Each structure stands twice: as C-alpha cells, then as structure tokens.
Amino acid sequence: MVNSSGEFPLSCRIIALVQERNRLFSYSLDHLAEQIQETGFCCISCGACCTRIRNGHVFLLDRDAAAARSIDPSSLVPAPDPEFCDQNGTFYVSGYSLRTRGDAAGSCWFLRDGRCRIYPQRFMVCRTYPYMFRRVVDEQGIPDWRFIARLYQHGSSGHRIQPEECRRIALETREYENALLMHEITFLEFMRGYLLEEGLYHDPVQYARSLHRAAAGDPVTIMVYYDQGLEEQVVGAGGVGRRSSLSFC
C-alpha cells in the first residue's frame, strides 16, 4: 500500500528492512563461505574499486565517517540520493560518503598514485569489498543472493583461498551488511519521529524543485543523519546524478 505521494509509508519501509535483516541471518554462513571459495577472488591492485569506474559512491557507516573526519574532515560529503525533502525544501540523507577527486576516473579522496594512502585504516566497506551478501530481484521478479560485486570487472578469480579465510571473509561480510541494514533502519525510525515532532512531511514536489535549484547552482540545505542526530550541510552547485538525484561528491 502506498500513500498519497506515491511512496511507501515509513513503517512499511522499516518492516521490509527488518525482514531483510532476518533473511540475512537465516542464510547459511557456511554456504556463503563456499561461494567465496568457489569464486576465488584475488585483488590485483588495479585500483578500479577506488574510482567511479566501478562504484558510484562509497557510503560510510558512522564509525567510519568518524574515522574519516579525524583523518581529513574535507574527505566527507553528504551521500547522494537524499531519501527525503520536507515542505521547506530541505533534504535529508542517511549518512556521509567519501569525497572523490576531480579527475576523470572519480578517484577516492584517499587514493594517490593508484594506492590507498590510509590502507591500514581503511573503512569497513573497503575491507569487505568486493564481497557482498545481498538479496536482489531480477527483471522477472525472482529473488536471489549476490555474493561478489561486479565479478570479472576488476581483480581476478579462480584462486585458491583457504577454508578458514573464506569463513573469516563470510563473517565480516555479513557483519557489514547487517550494520548497513541497521543503519538504515535507525535512520528511518529517527526520521519518522523527527518529521512528526517538527510538523514536517516528505514533499515530492519540493524534492523536484530543490533538485532543480541545486542543478542551477543555487545553495540547498541537506541534513545528514550521523551519530543518532542530524548535521546541517549547505551544498551549492550540486550536479544531477543517476536516478535524477543530487550528487554531492
């Protein structure tokens, strides 16, 4: 069931995420480890995963956003694709992403000469990539699980990985996917209470208008969910990215 704006109510979105988290833990960790061993992925230090050649943006969990801020505060930007826009034209987004450089490849802020300059401190998403553990639905509506992101587009496969290492990777991958789902759940729960208390609501018309203003170079306000609260950011001259959504990277 959708509301008058054509969007699913927050309560339904939260329930769907909780159900997805339940599916995550009902899936056999041993089978995930088997999939990892069967693929045999090996990093070849091509650096593709650290650019927009293979990834649109790198979303950071709060702990990783805090680490990035302590290393270089300018490395953080509001994540693209704001989830909400209130009737006053203010955007709301679920967290921060890593800034990219202005080169043609869209390199990560911390990538230098093809190498990560903070590799020992790299973030959880960087440690688990390209492994993933997500249920996807194909064009026919059939759900299935995806384990490796963009297989054969970077790195190499068919290598031998010890079973204990596969198990470790599987566990860390599930931990990351769980943390990501929990982050989105807590964000939606927070927004449900915040919008109600502040007398605000999501306004699709204002969303489109604010996108247009940003594309024209006018400043827009975006509230970033971080550390169980909202941080205000003013973004100017944001570009229009995929799905006609703001790109602040």
Q: What is the tens place of the pLDDT at every residue in 154-173? A: 888 999 999 999 999 999 99
Q: Is beta strand 246-247 parallel, antiparallel or unpaired with respect to 239-240?
A: antiparallel
The reply to whether 122 falls in a domain is yes
Question: Please, what is the average pLDDT of the chain?
Answer: 88
Instruction: Summarize the confidence of residues 20-46 as an average pLDDT.
Output: 93
> What confidence score (pLDDT) does residue 67 get?
97
Residue 163: how many other CB atoms lie within 10 Å: 12
Q: Is the pLDDT of residue 2 over 90?
A: no
> What confidence score (pLDDT) does residue 29 get?
94
The reply to whether 146 falls in a domain is yes
Backbone φ/ψ region at 148: left (φ over 0), alpha (ψ -120 to 50), beta: beta
> What confidence score (pLDDT) does residue 1 get?
37
Angstrom CA distances, 164 to 34, 113, 120, 161, 169, stand at 11, 33, 22, 8, 9
CB 36 within 8 A of CB 92: no
The reply to whether 5 falls in a domain is no
The reply to whether 60 falls in a domain is yes
Angstrom CA distances, 184 to 9, 181, 230, stand at 15, 5, 14
The reply to whether 51 falls in a domain is yes
Structure tokens, 176 = 């990351």
The reply to whether 2 falls in a domain is no
The reply to whether 117 falls in a domain is yes
Q: Is the pLDDT of residue 143 over 90?
A: no
Task: State how many domains the chain has.
Answer: 1
43-47, 92-96, 100-104 — most confident range = 92-96
Q: What is the span of the domain harbouring residue 127?
A: 10-247
**220: which strand partners?**
235
The reply to whether 1 falls in a domain is no
45-49, 51-55, 222-226, 238-242 — most confident range = 222-226
